[in-house]
Structure 1
């Protein structure tokens, strides 16, 4: 079951310690753990946090987690799909009452990307997140301008939070061993959240721009919006951008400037 659900259990104590330390856990915190599995991370979370809510999809691990971890009164176990319950209005309303909400998890690799989208657009106010994810995804999130690793989610995630690498994690640190290495990444959500994340046309702009990464912005925006190339070139120049630049070359501030110019010029 664990392999089918994409779970790989961390057993490296040094990496575990780095996760706990970087989460800066106090008794004021309510910690969400996604995919606790055998409870290797759950126990130290319960020892430090005021409350731990462990969301486990696998019915077997949901039943065996408490005996494996111990009789912690501050541990709540929910047998459900994290992607669904973190969108459930009743569950969200309950979490909104928590004063200091954090996520600390070894994320099942197969849900990493949809989970990140869920968290970025979540109505909840997260204090901090420490996630063990695929190294490939971490590289995308941490990629700077002019890097081929930059994607649509790179821009969204960096508008949403300050992102830092805690440690790379070799695949040998897990059982069963995954096919790829991992990385521990910390997210400090920005407050207030960038208004751009609430702009549907901005999200559409990013999707179009990154839909053909190897094409210039002149070509991809002209095709995506069905506008004349000369008009696109002029707007890019007005935004201080080379018409031959690509989506991966832009920093977050460049996207803000470009979007504002496109909108003020009635391009979108």
Structure 2
């Protein structure tokens, strides 16, 4: 099949041909807008030198565009009903490999080593909303050989990932994503460019992954434990949130740490930068 699937007509034809029924549990929404496809590929700056991992290719709409631009594409699809469809829609491309499996369970390090000779890759995806955060955090936390992640996700989540300190969107996810990468929303995506139409608006976000850690911290696990405690009860002051956050510290100890680093003890976690959290985390590490 040589038809490009960004045409609504072509998408409907292939769905009808295979009698495909959309699965709510897989969060399936197929993109039908060439302009958005171009923004995703251009945001990832894909060239023939690049190896690309695509998560959730669906019927292959974005995959076709990736194959046109990249050197090699490995597409990982969870829904085995889509494999025969992908065999047809990607038939004319010799630079693509489809793997049926769960990206959260696949050995990504081994995949990069085996399929891309351990060279840096780019990850591109139209992610199911229900599993967006676990996938993004796995890709970042494991520090795979990934240079860029460009994903279409729920707009609300994209805004949280990119949020700066002080706003209502800023939270633990903002800090985690910005600790490992430099995120930037590159496109807002309306509901009507999908089949079926989702209930929420989407956005394409690009995460430039730091090749070397940008921040120096004594204990990463402790840092994120502090962050989690600070945001677990957003209305509490930082002193109250941290003292009840399982860190084993009394309020007086926390006040002393904050005072030493000129941080107001009445402040809430949403006002603190990553650097502030690192100062607090390193101070706790030093007294434990």
TM-score by length of 1: 0.92
Q: Tell me which residue corresponds to 1:251.
A: 273
| 2:283 aligned residue (252, 261, 266) | 261
Task: Indicate whether 1:192 and 2:212 are aligned.
Answer: yes
- Structure 2: distance between partners of 1:128 and 1:88: 15
Give structure 2 stretches of 5+ with no counterpart: 1-21
How many residue pairs get matched?
Answer: 265
1:226 CA displacement = 4.3
Of residues 74-83 and 252-261 in structure 1, the stretch that sits farther from structure 2 once superposed is 252-261
Q: Tell me which residue corresponds to 2:28.
A: 7
| 2:257 aligned residue (235, 247, 255) | 235
Of residues 122-131 and 194-203 in structure 1, the stretch that sits farther from structure 2 once superposed is 194-203
- Structure 2: distance between partners of 1:95 and 1:236: 48
1:137 CA displacement = 0.6
Q: Tell me which residue corresponds to 2:59.
A: 38
Hey, which bits of structure 1, 4+ residues long, moved more than 6 A?
none
| 2:84 aligned residue (39, 46, 63) | 63
RMSD (CA atoms):
1.9
1:93 CA displacement = 4.3
Of residues 127-136 and 234-243 in structure 1, the stretch that sits farther from structure 2 once superposed is 234-243
- Structure 1: distance between partners of 2:158 and 2:95: 31
Please say if residues 218 and 285 of structure 2, whose CA atoms lie closer than 8 Å, have aligned partners that are also in contact. no
1:203 CA displacement = 2.0
Q: Tell me which residue corresponds to 1:102.
A: 122
Please say if residues 77 and 101 of structure 2, whose CA atoms lie closer than 8 Å, have aligned partners that are also in contact. yes
TM-score by length of 2: 0.86
| 2:195 aligned residue (175, 188, 208) | 175
Q: Tell me which residue corresponds to 2:225.
A: 204
Q: Secondary structure at the match of 2:265?
A: coil
- Structure 1: distance between partners of 2:285 and 2:219: 15
Q: Tell me which residue corresponds to 2:15.
A: none
- Structure 2: distance between partners of 1:35 and 1:238: 48
Of residues 219-228 and 35-44 in structure 1, the stretch that sits farther from structure 2 once superposed is 219-228
Task: Indicate whether 1:113 and 2:133 are aligned.
Answer: yes
- Structure 2: distance between partners of 1:38 and 1:228: 55
1:88 CA displacement = 5.7
